[in-house]
Amino acid sequence: MTDTPAPDLKPSFRNDVTVELVKHAATDSDVLWAARVSTAGEQSLEELQKDPERSKGLINYLMRDRHGSPFEHNSMTFFISAPIFVFREFMRHRVGWSYNEESGRYRELQPVFYVPGTDRKLVQQGRPGKYEFVDGTAAQQELTERVMEDSYRRSYEAYQEMLAAGVAREVARATLPVGLFSSMYATCNARSLMHFLGLRTQHELAKVPSFPQREIEMVGEKMEQEWARLMPLTHAAFNTNGRVAP
Ligand SMILES: Cc1cc2nc3c(=O)[nH]c(=O)nc-3n(C[C@H](O)[C@H](O)[C@H](O)COP(=O)(O)OP(=O)(O)OC[C@H]3O[C@@H](n4cnc5c(N)ncnc54)[C@H](O)[C@@H]3O)c2cc1C
């Protein structure tokens, strides 16, 4: 790997995340094809478009009865840019996922940092296992923004000071916080994405509610939008059946 050109060293602050679908081979037909091979053998590809209602019913049946493997014969690759603390949670998803992340050893890390937007609920109330998040006061908002930005600036200055003195990137990066943005490619299939969405989004249709950190949920919501466009029948069946991965 080679060095990247000199980056823009002025810190910038973001309250959003980037999710782009960069590559895909994922349609509802892929599910039908895989499911019907068990009964129709080699002719199954030709049968696909013949009866849309039957196709919808079959996808719903597979989802409801948790016949999961037909949902694996497809692929979606996302480019994601989000804070490192989101990636720490993301990469806990081991099954049906492939990851490649930018390197802090081979390139100088860019000073892009996460600061929550005004719509991010700042205050946690309740006891462990049964709590909710509520809006912060204006003073808490102001404090959060100011303290985070100060802290980010100082840590990036420390990073720069070490690099300027000839210390290796892989050593100097230890000064940087988990609010720093990173980027990665993440490839999954509909089944592994559904498992991710079941855990990392909150949704009124979820049979088993989850309480994810808002920032990974922001990534999940954008991925779900892309996936719903590619596989509308599968997405609808996921919702109808309580957003539990088959
Ligand atoms: C709201 C929330 C809070 C969390 N809090 C914490 C926390 O405080 N600390 C923490 O460490 N993690 C935490 N996690 C991470 C969580 O424990 C999981 O690591 C993460 O959600 C990935 O889920 P998974 O293992 O089901 O996914 P995957 O790794 O993608 O696995 C998918 C499925 O494959 C099967 N599987 C995979 N690996 C194995 C295995 N080794 N043995 C048997 N079956 C396997 C399981 O059925 C699993 O559900 C949290 C997750 C959520 C959603």
Average pLDDT over every residue of 91-112: 97
Helix (H) or strand (E) holding 214: helix 214-230
Q: Evaluate if residue 137 carries a pLDDT over 90.
A: yes
d(CA 133, CA 122): 7
Residue 168 confidence class, pLDDT cut points 50, 70, 90: very high
Q: What is the pLDDT of residue 52?
A: 77
Q: What angle do CA 131, 135, 139 make, to 5 degrees?
A: 125
Give the position of tokens 């296992």: 129
Average pLDDT over every residue of 144-149: 98
The closest residue, in CA terms, to atom 20 on ligand 1 is 92
Mutate to test the pocket of ligand 1, among 199, 211, 243 (most ligand atoms within 8 A of CB): 199
Q: What is the pLDDT of residue 2?
A: 43
Contact call for residues 51 and 163 (beta carbons, < 8 A): no
Torsion, Cα of 87, 90, 91, 95 (10° steps): -160
The closest residue, in CA terms, to atom 53 on ligand 1 is 199
The closest residue, in CA terms, to atom 24 on ligand 1 is 93
Residue 36 confidence class, pLDDT cut points 50, 70, 90: confident
Average pLDDT over every residue of 18-34: 96
Average pLDDT over every residue of 228-237: 97
Helix (H) or strand (E) holding 29: helix 28-40
Contacts of 7 (CB under 8 A, 6+ apart): 108, 110, 111
User: Residue 92 has which token pair?
Assistant: 């806990």
Average pLDDT over every residue of 48-60: 83
Q: If phi over 0 gives left and psi between -120 and 50 gives alpha, with beta otherwise, what is residue 83?
A: beta
d(CA 229, CA 145): 36
Question: For residue range 192-225, what is the model confidence (pLDDT) as tens digits?
Answer: 999 999 999 999 999 999 999 999 999 999 999 9
Answer whether 212 contacts ligand 1 (Cβ < 6 A).
yes
Q: Which residues pair with 134 in a beta bridge?
A: 123
**Cα diameter, the chain:** 69
Domains of the chain: residue spans and CATH: 12-240 (3.30.1360.170)
| Known catalytic membership, residue 200 | yes
Q: Evaluate if residue 166 carries a pLDDT over 70.
A: yes
Average pLDDT over every residue of 24-38: 91
Catalytic residue among 14, 107, 169, 200: 200
User: Residue 14 has which token pair?
Assistant: 């973001």
d(CA 22, CA 38): 32
